[in-house]
Amino acid sequence: MPAKDAAIRKRTQIAKANRTMFLWVAAISAVVGFALVGSLFLVQKAVFNEKILSEKDKTVSILKSNNANISELEAQVRILDNNQALIDSKAKPDDQAIQVILDALPSDANSLALGASLQNKLFANIEGLSIDSLQVDPVVGVESFSTDLTLQDASTVSASGQPEVAFRFTVSGSEVALKEALSRLERSIRAIDIISLRIENQGNKRVLSVQARAFYEPTRVVELKDKTVKP
């Protein structure tokens, strides 16, 4: 009996030791698991903070660069205000000289205004000149809509990437009148590029057909924006 009791006690002690070992292993595993999760959270937090600091540094760098360029821009504007060529080209005496640049490159397409300017200003009061036809194409995607993306790209943006307005006209008259029309196009403060030009004789008069394009520069908006940085 003593031998059997001893065996039972040994088995009891072994089972108790196994339970104790299991509890220790479970406790240590839980501690290690919490430590790993905590370490991962801290690493993610550190990486996220670095991303925020990096974005802040970029913003500060851009603001410093903009502030540094303000003085140079102001100096350039003052120089343009004293440019005699711009002063001589002012539409109104009270306008600033830099307004000529804004008039030469408008902020929107406005094909109707371009057509009116050609008819009522550039070609007006030219003795012996007759406007046979004048067509200004609405800018596709800006003033009109089309599902043909190829047409839209070709008609609104030049090869250099500058937005443009295409137009064509036919005028007739004497040689002197046609020369004056071309001279006014050349002297126009509006940026105009003549693509094709054809002169034909029709009886005792000459006919000038021109296909050209004018350019515009969409308004640039400068504003501060909020940027959300995600972990």
Boundary of a domain, candidates 81, 108, 132 = 81
Select from 127, 207, 202, 116 the least CA-distant residue to 170. Answer: 207
What are the 10-residue block averages of pLDDT along the chain, 231 residues in total? 63 74 80 82 83 85 85 84 80 79 80 88 90 88 53 46 87 92 87 90 88 87 77 72
Residues 188, 122 contacting (CB under 8 angstroms): yes
The CA distance from 127 to 181, in Å, is: 10
Token pair in block for residue 159: 């090869």
Q: Is 145 part of a structural domain of the chain? A: yes
Clarify whether residues 161 and 74 are in a common domain. no
Q: Is 222 part of a structural domain of the chain? A: no
Clarify whether residues 69 and 137 are in a common domain. no
Q: Are strands 164-173 and 192-202 parallel, antiparallel or unpaired?
A: unpaired
Identify the domain containing residue 164 by its residue range: 99-215
* pTM for this entry: 0.58
Clarify whether residues 105 and 165 are in a common domain. yes
pLDDT digits (tens, 9 = 90+) for 208-219: 999 999 988 888
* Burial of residue 98 (number of CB atoms within 10 Å: 0-12, 13-18, 19+): middle
Clarify whether residues 128 and 159 are in a common domain. yes
Residues 178, 206 contacting (CB under 8 angstroms): yes
